[in-house]
Amino acid sequence: MNPADEILDIVDEHDRVVTQAPRGEAYARGLRHRCAFIQVRDAEGRLFVHRRTATKMVFPALYDLFVGGVVGAGESYDEAALREAEEELGVSGLPAPTYLFKFLYEDGAGHSWWSAVYEVRCDLPVKPQVEEVQWHAFLTEEEVAARLGEWEWVPDGLVAHERLRAFRAAG
């Protein structure tokens, strides 16, 4: 199926479903929907970082600190988090990602989605989806920090990253 044809739940400012629409229409019209963000660490605690392919509908060819994506119509955040993590990492048998928090992402330029943030440890060898991931590596916190000012990152992922740092700092 063409990703633009995937049916999404369209939600209000309180994350209540108000209608459904194809993903392409949701993006074109700036309709608020749901997404899952999953921070992946390996057994050594390094972060999975990747560069999105140039064919992605939103934020093509940018770097990302999370795997994840849209929540399909009728799908829960938890279901989407596991599905998206396994798809993007190219693994099966991943433990269920741990839900951390949710926030409303709005950039003022027509992008608006409720964003559920998760974390998961992946001890499996990854083989990321070639349709989704152009490049990937597991990087240390120091390596990520050094690249934050150098690489062009997906804006929603940067917001999620900052919120996750604040969440962890609040303990």
Which residues are part of a known binding site for Mg(2+)?
84, 88
Report, in angstroms and rounded to the nearest whole number, the Rg of the chain calculated over CA atoms. 15
What lies within 8 Å, CB to CB, of 119 at 6+ separation is: 38, 39, 40, 41, 97, 98, 100
Which residue from 24, 90, 69 is spatially nearest to 160, judged by alpha carbons?
69
Q: Which residues are annotated as a binding site?
A: 84, 88
Of 71, 56, 65, which Cα lies nearest the Cα of 160?
A: 65
